[in-house]
Amino acid sequence: MSKLISNYLFNSFYQILILIIPFITMPYVARVLSPDGLGVSAYSLSVAQIFVLFAVLGIPLYGSKQIAIAKIQGKEKISVEFWSIYLIQLIASLLCSLIFLLMIHIFFKDQSLIYFLQWFNIIAAMVDISWLFIGLEELKKTVIRNTLTKVAGVALIFIFVKDQDDLITYIAINALTNLIGQLILWVQSKEYIGLPRFGKKNVLLHLKPIFVIFIPQIIIQLYVVLDKIILGTLSNEEEVAMYDQGLKIVKMSLALVTSVVTVMLPRISSEFNQGNKDKFKYYVDYVLKFILFMTIPMCIGLACIANNFVGWFFGPGYEKVGLILILLSPIVIIIGLSSVFGMQILLPTNQQNKLTISVTIGAAVSILTNIALIPFFDSVGAAIATVLAEITVTIVQFIFVKEYIHLKQIIKENSPYLFSSIVMGGVILLLGIYVNVSPILKTIIQLAIGLATYSLLLLIMKDKFLLDVKNKIFIKR
């Protein structure tokens, strides 16, 4: 369990880092490169990312799961599984990279250098083997590697990007640091895998499950992108900005939660495939409790600090983001639950078809509700549509996994988190009304006292989960 906690802390740190970095660089880059320059960079990268998605297929999830199963049998089995899966990634990536280069020649001759530099992101996807280390539960190596390359990228941007003429330099820094970071992992991989060994039978065996995982990922990407496209088409770009900023804050909060999903997937998959049903159930229950322990106070806390936080963080003209953030805050809990049902139960138990069904229904709800609500409510309609779509996905997945989950037990065991969070929310709102300090300091006070209130109430109620976490941290040795 100590390794799981270590992996979670490392992954949480990295998830927070990749969300914080844009807040450091974007104010500078936006002023130096101008909106036009950033638009060219963002658009060309989005085109490349479509090819990246097809280049890696569903391998990051599937590969980590298979490596977790293989590690029980030793290095030789890990090596065979790795090379069999990686060959599929290599072929898919080569095809995508060649098609991308052809597309540059046909459609983007005037900006060929920009798109050629973005092509290195596809090459980075080709050599991305982070899933090997995730499956081996060696997240420390990937996190340290990623942290160093991200920090190096930020430093290079501040050193070399000085004016609008440095757009090419900016794109090159981002693409090449990404590629270098992926290549570093190959140096570290020799400790875990041997020389390439390919078996036609092994390779073909992996094709179907990879595509089964790939399909829901494509569908998820579809409705993640389409809501903004529909909003921009039926409303205007300003409303897109309001919705997008609110969504980014919610995703930042989710980083701590989704980290545990990445960390636990290999372990849960391994236990299930060994037939350890009790261990499988134990880990699922543990993750579910952790998710609710974290997400319920996050949801209520976000909603309570929203208006004050948005006022000083985004500045004048973004007041509507406060309302968007309040409306979107429930998806912290909803996505947290769906990550347990989908990625911790359906995927490890080889029920990927049910995962596909749930996200397909969610995508349909998202598209229909966005079209229905946006003409009347603009970004508010998009926020409501997102919440409805995520609720739909979670409900459908719950129906599929109810044999593993007992609803009455969940409600009973986690009701202290809801009670403590409601009290915490009341305290935060009162602080917002009666504490007369600067907006930034007020947010800090609200968060600090809110967290203290939540933790104190759970300690008074002798919450077993919180006490276990405390003991693991402070009495580990």
The top-scoring range by mean pLDDT among 107-116, 215-224, 358-367, 462-471 is: 358-367
> Percent of the chain beyond pLDDT 90?
16
How confident is the model over 30-49, as pLDDT tens digits? 567 765 665 567 667 767 87
The pLDDT confidence band at residue 300, using thresholds 50, 70 and 90, is very high
473 pLDDT higher than 70 = no
Q: What is the pLDDT of residues 345-370, one digit of tens each?
A: 787 777 778 888 888 898 889 889 99
**Residue 39, pLDDT score:** 57
**294 vs 313, more confident:** 294
State the average pLDDT for the chain: 80
Q: What is the mean pLDDT of residues 190-216?
A: 73
Q: Decide if pLDDT at 60 tops 70.
A: yes
pLDDT of residue 107: 81
The rounded percent of the chain whose pLDDT value lies above 70 is 81
pLDDT at site 3? 55
Return the higher-pLDDT residue of 250 and 225: 250
Three-class DSSP category at 235? coil
- Give me the mean pLDDT over the 381-386 stretch: 91
Average the pLDDT over 462-476 and give the result: 65
Q: How many CA atoms lie within 13 A of 168 on its CB side?
A: 6
8 Å CB contact between 139 and 7: yes
By CB atoms closer than 10 A (0-12, 13-18, 19+), residue 211 is middle
Judged by average pLDDT, the poorest of 78-82, 102-106, 174-178, 415-419 is 78-82
For 74-108, the pLDDT digits (tens) are 777 778 888 888 888 888 899 999 999 898 888 87
pLDDT value at 143 more than 60: yes
- Please check the confidence at residue 328 and state whether its pLDDT lies above 90: yes
At 213 the pLDDT is 72
What is the predicted pLDDT for the residue at 426?
A: 93
Spatial contact of 451 and 304, defined as CB atoms under 8 Å apart: no
Residue entry with tokens 């963002």: 42
Of the two residues 235 and 429, the one the predictor is more confident about is: 429
Of residues 157 and 477, more confidently modeled: 157
pTM for the model stands at 0.68
Pick 449 or 164 by higher pLDDT: 449
Rounded CA separation 158/179 (Å): 20
d(CA 10, CA 298): 20
Binned at pLDDT 50, 70 and 90, residue 329 comes out as: very high
Residues 151 and 181: beta-carbon distance below 8 Å: no
pLDDT at position 252: 75
**pLDDT tens for residues 394-405?**
999 998 888 787
Specify the pLDDT at position 477.
47
pLDDT at 445 over 90: yes
Query: Side chain identity at 272, as an amino acid letter?
Result: F
Summarize pLDDT for 422-444 with one digit per residue, the tens.
999 999 999 988 888 888 899 89
- End-to-end C-alpha distance for the chain, whole angstroms: 13
The SS3 of residue 6 is helix
Using the CB atoms, write b or e for 100-109: b if 16+ within 10 Å: beeebeeebe
Which tokens in the block code for residue 449?
Answer: 């006292």
